[in-house]
Chain A
Amino acid sequence: MSTITVALAGNPNAGKTTLFNTLTGARQHVGNYPGVTVEKKEGAYTFATGEQASIIDLPGTYSLTAYSMEEVVARNYLVQEKPDVVINITDASNLERNLYLSTQFLELGVPMVIALNMIDVAQDRGISLDAQRLADLLKVPVIPVIARSGKGTAELMAAALELAKENSPWNPLHISYGEDVDLALQTMAQRITAAGFMTDSYAPRWLALKYLEGDSQIREKGRAHNPAVDAELQEIVTKVSEHLHQTMETYPEAIIADHRYGYIKSVLRQEVISHKFDIDRLHASDRIDKVLTNRFLGPLIMLAVLLGLYKFTFTYSELPVAWLETFFGWLGGNAEALLPDGHLKSMLISGVIDGMGGVLGFVPMIMFMFFGIAVLEDSGYLARVAFMMDRVFRIFGLHGSSVMAYIVSGGIAGGCAVPGVMAARTLRSPRERLATLLTVSFMNCGAKLPVLALLTATFFSKNQAQLMFLLTLLAWGVALAAAKFLRLTVLRGESTPFVMELPPYRFPTFRGLFIHTWERTWQYIKKAGTTILAISILIWAMMTFPGLPASEEENFARQRQEILAASAAPAREALEKAEAPLPEEALQLKEKLTALDSDQAGRALRHSLAGRIGTSMETVSWLPGFDWRTNIALVGGFAAKEVIVATLGTAYSLGETDPEDTASLSETLARDPHWNPLMALALIVFVMFYAPCFVTVVCISRESGSWKWGLFAICFNTVLAFSLATLVYQGGRALGFAG
């Protein structure tokens, strides 16, 4: 049984992901391309004959220049990995522009099958296409498909398999780019062939073409490979460029693009495509846009959509959240009853179960949130949001596309700064990208939500939904202000192009939504399951060791004996037998013992490593009103924000160990005299804006290419958060809000 490698390539919005999902179903694996953080999706497909295909979903691109990381990744994959066949998925209702990328694949010479996707949409728009005619003219198989229903995909894969089996050498298409460019290409190609200049990896004419297009990646490689030849080629390029500029006021890459489109037009004109209606005819999508991007209605609807997402997420996730809480409560109760006392029991309950419960309990909420975002993304509405927001974002030195990164990071609360930082990759300008990278972590990510939800539910339960909405607005305000600040100081400079597609509105497919939601939620769970668990245990260790000195332990044991000795025998017996209901005297005895236990646990925690760190930080943390317990939780939160809840839980369950009282952390906080709404608000503000979790810091460093920026994010954010939280707490106290 042979396995062929199929690369899936195409424009964004051509239905590439839908086709990938249809072909591979649940058999996918998401990873990363080596060295960069562009997502690499792989899946498997089985033919009716039992043969296998490994399918690689290349990032969606419009071109094969080195314009974006995605384009470089797609091109490198094709050139270096040499897949057996490329399936180029095109939007049949938008064929002319989609064929621009196809033409570049043809110029590269890679074996290719064209999938004419959304052939049904094209028909509805009065576009009829002759696939056979197009195949004859381009000399590659062209198969009409409907990716969403799976129609035509078997034929498509059969054509791919056939082509792969032919195993013919790459056959680059030569397009004429006009006299000046053609002549230069010829001279350069000859020079490249003669010198053996990178000919192992690239065809000579293609290399020459890339030099003329001013491709930065190829030029860099060329310089490294052979500086002399590179200089020679560069000289020819300069000469042609000057000539073109003087005679026609144009550029080589413009001429090349024009001729590519000319080639496409000449192909399509040969009875490939015919339009029944005027090409500018208004489609259903345009009519929707008349309302959704309307000057007055548009922003109002956008606000309503975001609010709706909130309601959806908070309301519908309530029940599963309660189930999970019950489950972990039950688990903790069982562990308590079954395991022998000691460090292992303490670690399992306070470290593992509480830690996992604190994190997993919020999975349903995160899942609902991701589902909502997936609907917005897949329907095409998010692109409209970017369109409407660009003018605003530009004021802050950002790009309309920054909105994606912001939203993924938690601009619609519940994202994650890690994929958000990665979403910033679509931004080309290093400055706008950095400004986005460094500010997305201010958004209310899914990991901060448990903390915010806990605090709002405890102290502001009446207005929780409204307050959470206000907190999102606050996150946006601070993030944008910070971006502007950065763009005016450390990241000064010009803005980048905003040429973007507004894809037609589409009903999201259930499968697409499901996979989308599941992938993101799974990422969160994976992170929770590994990093968080490890940190939860580490923090348990920090909070347990070093233990109290033996003299103090003895002191507590003696006190316990004294209490027991002073009590009446029947009460002691009743307590030992755990009679229900306990007689009055036994209850009093129990209370005394519990108070002693809490006292001991509290002292032990203060004595531990974490307690010492937290206590020493109180020298500054009194300004925003945090005590040492909160400080410990915040230190843990730097490792990952979810840990804040887990640590507070651990801190309090250790501090007030009462086996009979399984009150939630929320109730514990509400009872604690140290806590009040003002301090909770200061903590909320601090948690929102202080140092991003270390995973995000690692991503920022990697995406920006320097640890300097990761370090910058830690310091900048923490200083900002500390100032804001202090302002809230001290300001609130001065105004008399302390309660």
Chain B
Amino acid sequence: MPTILLREMQKNQSGTITAIKVGGELGRRIRDMGIVPGTRITIMGRAPLHDPVAIRIMGGTLTLRNNEADHIEIEVANPEENL
């Protein structure tokens, strides 16, 4: 299964977080909100200007900017079906 960056995911596409390659405050903030490896996420949509992105995680909705999503690697469940 392919691993891509969160930024590259399409609307309604789902996947599982494999790695978060950032430390410091951004890393901590991301983890505090439940974005940790092994968690399943779905792209809910993007803001009118395509940034930030809204994701469904652990039953709630979070938003993050595209340049923050760049640190998050996702194993996409079934890319053909979703694209």
Q: Do A500 and B48 contact each other (CB < 8 Å), given the known contacts A96-B34, A280-B42?
A: no
Query: Do the beta carbons of B62 and A63 come within 8 Å of each other?
Result: no
Chain B 16-49 interface 0/1 with A at a Cβ cutoff of 8 Å (1 = within)? 0001110101111111111111111010110111
Query: Do the beta carbons of B64 and A67 come within 8 Å of each other?
Result: no
Residue B49 contacts which of A93, A294, A391 (CB distance < 8 angstroms)? A391
Name the residue of chain A whose CB is nearest to the CB of B33. Answer: A499
> Is A100 positioned at the interface, with any CB of B under 8 Å from its CB?
yes
Across-interface contacts of A496 in B (CB, < 8 A)? 25
Residue A293 contacts which of B14, B36, B40, B47 (CB distance < 8 angstroms)? B47
| A39-77 at interface with B (beta carbon < 8 Å) | 62-63, 65, 67
- Interface size class, chain A: 35 or more
> Is B54 positioned at the interface, with any CB of A under 8 Å from its CB?
yes
The docked-state distance in angstroms from the alpha carbon of A286 to that of B38 is 24
The docked-state distance in angstroms from the alpha carbon of A294 to that of B44 is 11
The docked-state distance in angstroms from the alpha carbon of A504 to that of B59 is 10
Query: Do the beta carbons of A499 and B27 come within 8 Å of each other?
Result: no
> Is A428 positioned at the interface, with any CB of B under 8 Å from its CB?
yes
> Is B51 positioned at the interface, with any CB of A under 8 Å from its CB?
yes
Across-interface contacts of A318 in B (CB, < 8 A)? none
Query: Do the beta carbons of B62 and A261 come within 8 Å of each other?
Result: no
Query: Do the beta carbons of B54 and A253 come within 8 Å of each other?
Result: no
The docked-state distance in angstroms from the alpha carbon of A298 to that of B26 is 28
Residue B62 contacts which of A295, A296, A298, A502 (CB distance < 8 angstroms)? A502
Across-interface contacts of A219 in B (CB, < 8 A)? none
Across-interface contacts of B59 in A (CB, < 8 A)? 93-94, 96-97, 125, 127, 279
Across-interface contacts of A454 in B (CB, < 8 A)? none
Query: Do the beta carbons of A254 and B52 come within 8 Å of each other?
Result: no
Name the residue of chain A whose CB is nearest to the CB of B68. Answer: A497
Q: Do A293 and B45 contact each other (CB < 8 Å), given the known contacts A100-B32, A254-B20, A501-B33?
A: yes
Query: Do the beta carbons of A67 and B37 come within 8 Å of each other?
Result: no
Residue A67 contacts which of B28, B56, B57, B58 (CB distance < 8 angstroms)? B28
Chain A 717-735 interface 0/1 with B at a Cβ cutoff of 8 Å (1 = within)? 0000000000000000000
Name the residue of chain A whose CB is nearest to the CB of B51. Answer: A391
Residue A498 contacts which of B20, B23, B63 (CB distance < 8 angstroms)? B63
Q: Do A502 and B61 contact each other (CB < 8 Å), given the known contacts A65-B28, A67-B25, A253-B28?
A: yes
The docked-state distance in angstroms from the alpha carbon of A474 to that of B2 is 49
Name the residue of chain A whose CB is nearest to the CB of B20. Answer: A254
The docked-state distance in angstroms from the alpha carbon of A62 to that of B28 is 11
Query: Do the beta carbons of B68 and A501 come within 8 Å of each other?
Result: no
Across-interface contacts of B45 in A (CB, < 8 A)? 289-290, 293
Query: Do the beta carbons of B44 and A97 come within 8 Å of each other?
Result: no
Across-interface contacts of B39 in A (CB, < 8 A)? 261
Query: Do the beta carbons of A498 and B58 come within 8 Å of each other?
Result: no
The docked-state distance in angstroms from the alpha carbon of A254 to that of B59 is 22
The docked-state distance in angstroms from the alpha carbon of A394 to that of B67 is 12
> Is A271 positioned at the interface, with any CB of B under 8 Å from its CB?
no
The docked-state distance in angstroms from the alpha carbon of A445 to that of B78 is 51
Closest approach, in angstroms, between the C-beta of B24 and any C-beta of chain A? 8
The docked-state distance in angstroms from the alpha carbon of A94 to that of B49 is 28
Query: Do the beta carbons of A100 and B34 come within 8 Å of each other?
Result: yes
The docked-state distance in angstroms from the alpha carbon of A258 to that of B35 is 9
The docked-state distance in angstroms from the alpha carbon of A371 to that of B63 is 27
| B58-79 at interface with A (beta carbon < 8 Å) | 58-65, 68
> Is A257 positioned at the interface, with any CB of B under 8 Å from its CB?
yes
Across-interface contacts of B38 in A (CB, < 8 A)? 258, 261
Q: Do A392 and B62 contact each other (CB < 8 Å), given the known contacts A253-B28, A254-B27, A286-B44?
A: no
Query: Do the beta carbons of B62 and A500 come within 8 Å of each other?
Result: yes
Residue A97 contacts which of B28, B60, B65 (CB distance < 8 angstroms)? B60
Closest approach, in angstroms, between the C-beta of B50 and any C-beta of chain A? 8
Q: Do A391 and B34 contact each other (CB < 8 Å), given the known contacts A65-B28, A254-B27, A428-B25?
A: no
Across-interface contacts of B19 in A (CB, < 8 A)? 249
Query: Do the beta carbons of A94 and B63 come within 8 Å of each other?
Result: no
Query: Do the beta carbons of A261 and B34 come within 8 Å of each other?
Result: yes
Residue A258 contacts which of B36, B44, B60, B65 (CB distance < 8 angstroms)? B36
Chain A 465-503 interface 0/1 with B at a Cβ cutoff of 8 Å (1 = within)? 000000000000000000000000000000011111111
> Is A251 positioned at the interface, with any CB of B under 8 Å from its CB?
yes
Across-interface contacts of B37 in A (CB, < 8 A)? 258
Apart from A400-B63, A501-B63, list 4 A-B contacts with CB within 8 A.
A94-B59, A100-B34, A251-B23, A261-B36
**Selected A-B contacts with CB under 8 Å, 20 pairs:** A67-B25, A94-B60, A96-B58, A100-B34, A251-B23, A251-B27, A257-B36, A258-B31, A258-B36, A290-B45, A293-B48, A293-B54, A391-B51, A394-B65, A428-B25, A499-B33, A499-B35, A499-B68, A500-B64, A502-B54
